[in-house]
Amino acid sequence: MDVLEKIGDQVKSNPVVIYMKGTPQFPQCGFSMRAAAALSDCGVPFAYVNVLQDPEIYENLPRYADWPTFPQIYIDGELVGGCDITLELHASGELKEMMEQAASKAEAAGA
């Protein structure tokens, strides 16, 4: 499978996914740490991909949605953005709402 297809499959098969440096439990950069903490705080399960463990994804993810930095957060198959946007959405309460809607939609579809 081509790496962009692999990324597309991960984005489409998870209601919420964060591509980050490290893991939510052991983040390897401050931006990834803050974005993962905001997602965790919403109380909705989410998937993660540690880009440091997959050099192909690390090198090609910026091409997938034309977003150059990490972390990258996708909700319901769409790029939400990186750390700053995620923190703004969390502060306004929109992040939790978006995550809940994506999880409900996936559950209704049998995911």
What residues pair up with 40 in beta bridges, in sequence order? none
Cβ pair 50, 22 in contact under 8 A: yes
CB atoms within 10 A of CB 83: 23
Does 29 appear as a known binding residue? yes
d(CA 74, CA 77): 6
**CB under 8 Å to 16, separation ≥6 — which residues?**
39, 44, 45, 46, 47, 73, 74, 75, 76, 99, 102, 103
* Residues annotated in a binding site: 29
* Residues annotated in a binding site for [2Fe-2S] cluster: 29
